[in-house]
Amino acid sequence: MENNKLLAGFGRVNITPPMGIPISGYFVDRFAEGVLDELEIQALAVSDGENRAVIMVADLVGVKAAQLFRYRESVSKATGVPAEAVFIASTHTHTGPVVLESSIMEKNKEFAFYLETLESRFCDAARFALQDLRPAKMGYGIAQAPNIAFVRRFRMKDGKVRTNPGVGNPDILHPLGDVDERVNVLRFAREGGEDLVLVNFGVHPDTVGGSLISADYPRFVRETVENALPGTRCLFLNGAQGDVNHVNVNAKGGDKNGLVPMFDDCDRGYEHAKHMGRTIAGAVLQIFGKVNFVDVDAVRFGCSTCSIPSNMPKAEDLPQARVYAALHKAGKDSEIPYQGMELTTVVAESLRMLQLEHGPESFELPLSALAIGPAALIGIPGEPFTGIGRGLKDGSPYTITLPCCAANGYEGYFPMQDAYDEGGYEARSSRFAAGVAEKLIAGGLQLLGEVYQK
């Protein structure tokens, strides 16, 4: 590999929070009562001998863009890596601490120190990875992880659209959309050091539930790969997962092993999280020894913003929204005439309407791209639908493109146009107007093209 200039390094730090901290992910309060498994930040540093970049992924539900901007600036100051080249993503686990700026954290200010702890931990992880830089060759491959990701939006027999209508619901007509079961793999074989593996696959990490801290299935992707391949370190970056999760509504027999029904019509279980991690890790093992090694002569990066109109409410919808929001705030969800995920949908929709009653009229969403030779990561600051991931993969100038959710920001759901036309939790709760997905695809492809031309 005469033109290969690649250096790669790895870092890992623990970010398990204190007990009692609010847990993220639902519209009911939860507080950490114990730890099933530790939360971590994984870091991959890359360099072409001139440019350096750091990719970090944290076991968190997501971090607001403004917050992450501060963290990236701190990492830059601590390491000398340009802030533009600091790529921070969250796995989107629903059994991690609240780190979004929210009313929950406002009511629990004794845990605000955790946000400052995170800032120093990101700096530590980046330092460790940069200190570990060694000559490496990069290979890429794509495998499949079947039957662990499922569309969660359905047309019902009454013509309505529901998100997560429940396992075995006889009123389901058909799913709306399909899943992308491709597992993207980047392998970094290093001289005198462990192999590093970066894995990218899109499905919600909402498999565990409850009030115990867990990194969910991404933990078991990493753990299984590292146990199966001694001397290997693994990072998992979640992909386009806004409309897919682990719930198989047609589950039969052994499909139900390790799962129990929960409050929102979703079956969850820690053992199922392990199953999902093993399945994705199995795809990695299929391709690990057969990746296509390529020269990496440059590490490139770039950022841009995409202007998105706001999903502001209609005036006639606000009175009902105020009623539902007030009942929810008073702990009287039982008086709202819905159950399960439909209850979650109307509560989330009502809160969105009140939040946006007076604007703003638009949002500026940050996009991030980081290219390692012929491979590129494209960061989307929230939860993109599968169609966004496909659009970015199909239109990218790179040989392999890894769409990453909750990257350099977490600002909510990004549904496709048809989801706004059809309804369902994601579109009804999204702060962004119809067209957001298509604008993000166009903006992401433009950014990838600009980085490609550098």
Whether the CA torsion 24, 27, 31, 33 is positive or negative: it is negative
| Separation CA 39–CA 342 (nearest Å) | 31
The tokens for 2 are 């005469």
| Separation CA 353–CA 346 (nearest Å) | 10
For every one of its 454 residues, what pLDDT tens digit does the chain have, with 9 covering 90 and above? 578 999 999 999 999 999 999 998 777 789 999 999 999 999 999 999 999 999 999 999 999 999 999 999 999 999 999 999 999 999 999 999 988 756 566 677 778 888 889 999 999 999 999 999 999 999 999 999 999 999 999 999 999 999 999 999 999 999 999 999 999 999 999 999 999 999 999 999 999 999 999 999 999 999 999 999 999 999 999 999 999 999 999 999 999 999 999 878 899 999 999 999 999 999 999 999 999 999 999 999 999 999 999 999 999 999 999 999 999 989 999 999 998 888 889 999 999 999 999 999 999 999 999 999 999 999 999 999 999 999 999 999 999 999 999 999 999 999 999 999 998 889 999 999 999 999 999 999 999 999 999 8
C-beta neighbour count of 78 within 10 angstroms? 16
Give the gyration radius of the chain's Cα atoms. 21
| Separation CA 202–CA 108 (nearest Å) | 32
Residue 279 belongs to what H/E stretch? helix 270-288
CB 407 within 8 A of CB 89: yes
Q: What is the pTM of this model?
A: 0.95
Longest dimension (CA), the chain: 69
| Separation CA 291–CA 283 (nearest Å) | 12
- CA end-to-end span of the chain, whole Å? 22
What does the domain layout of the chain look like in residue ranges? 7-304+362-452, 313-355
